[in-house]
Amino acid sequence: MSSAVPTPVVLEQKLRDHGAFLGDARTVTWLRIAGLHHILRWLQEAPGDTWQERWDAHHQHADAWKMFVEQFPPQRRGKDSRGALCNALTSLFCLRLLRPTYGWFIANPKLQLINALRRGPEKDDLERLLHVAKAHGMGHSSAESALAKLVRIMLCTGKRMPELQVQDFYDYRAFLTTFPRNPTTALGVYAAQNILHALGILSEPAPDLHVRPGRRSVNELVTSCGIKNK
């Protein structure tokens, strides 16, 4: 493995620091570190020069993570190995030490990533997003849906909120077209893009929701034809 790749010792310290920032109890941090070492041993079984390459190699099978976790017994007598694994993976994702794919989220919808990010160093950015959503008249459930989709885009691209680009939203919507259409999911992605445009992070808002891919919206057609309001 390349010298530029963080060693297990370095990763362990990063997760300890993350736990300290979150204000976690020592027992929670201990479980997180135990989960980390289980994950690293699993990743070392796969080919690759980086942890990410090994993660991707394992996930040639869509249910790889689920199958790995199920090797451990459910919570029993105060021991929660599965919880430790999920705790460690949450930190690895939040710290951008591993990147999931959008397909991974479809297969593993229960990981509590939104709450983890809202407690971490990015909490101010995410709270600012919710504040702007409310200021623009967006209801609580719609704002939370937009936040959930934004978190997926951030974690799958490995970017922080200020680093996101319009293309990242197009890529996510393109992925969603490969699954049965879920109107709520689509609306959340469009809303997230519009909020980031309002924040000045993105250069353009979401396209007209009712325009099919590859076609132009009414506003675009009017502009291209040189039609002006009188």
pLDDT digits (tens, 9 = 90+) for 181-210: 655 567 889 999 999 999 999 999 998 765
What is the C-alpha separation between 39 and 68, in angstroms, rounded?
9
CA distance to 39, 54, 144, per residue, from 43 (Å): 6, 6, 33
Kindly report the average pLDDT of the chain as a whole number.
85
Domain boundaries, the chain: 8-106, 122-199
How much of the chain, in percent, has pLDDT values that exceed 90?
60
Orientation of helix 123-135 relative to helix 140-157, angle to 10°: 140
The pLDDT, as a whole number, for residue 185 is: 66
pLDDT digits (tens, 9 = 90+) for 16-64: 999 999 899 998 999 999 999 999 999 999 999 999 999 999 998 878 9
Residues 6+ apart with CB under 8 A from 42: 58, 68
Residue 82: pLDDT band by 50, 70, 90 thresholds? confident
> Encoding tokens for residue 1?
């493995």
Amino acid 205 reads P
User: Is 147:126 a contact under the CB 8 Å cutoff?
Assistant: yes
Residue 78: pLDDT band by 50, 70, 90 thresholds? low
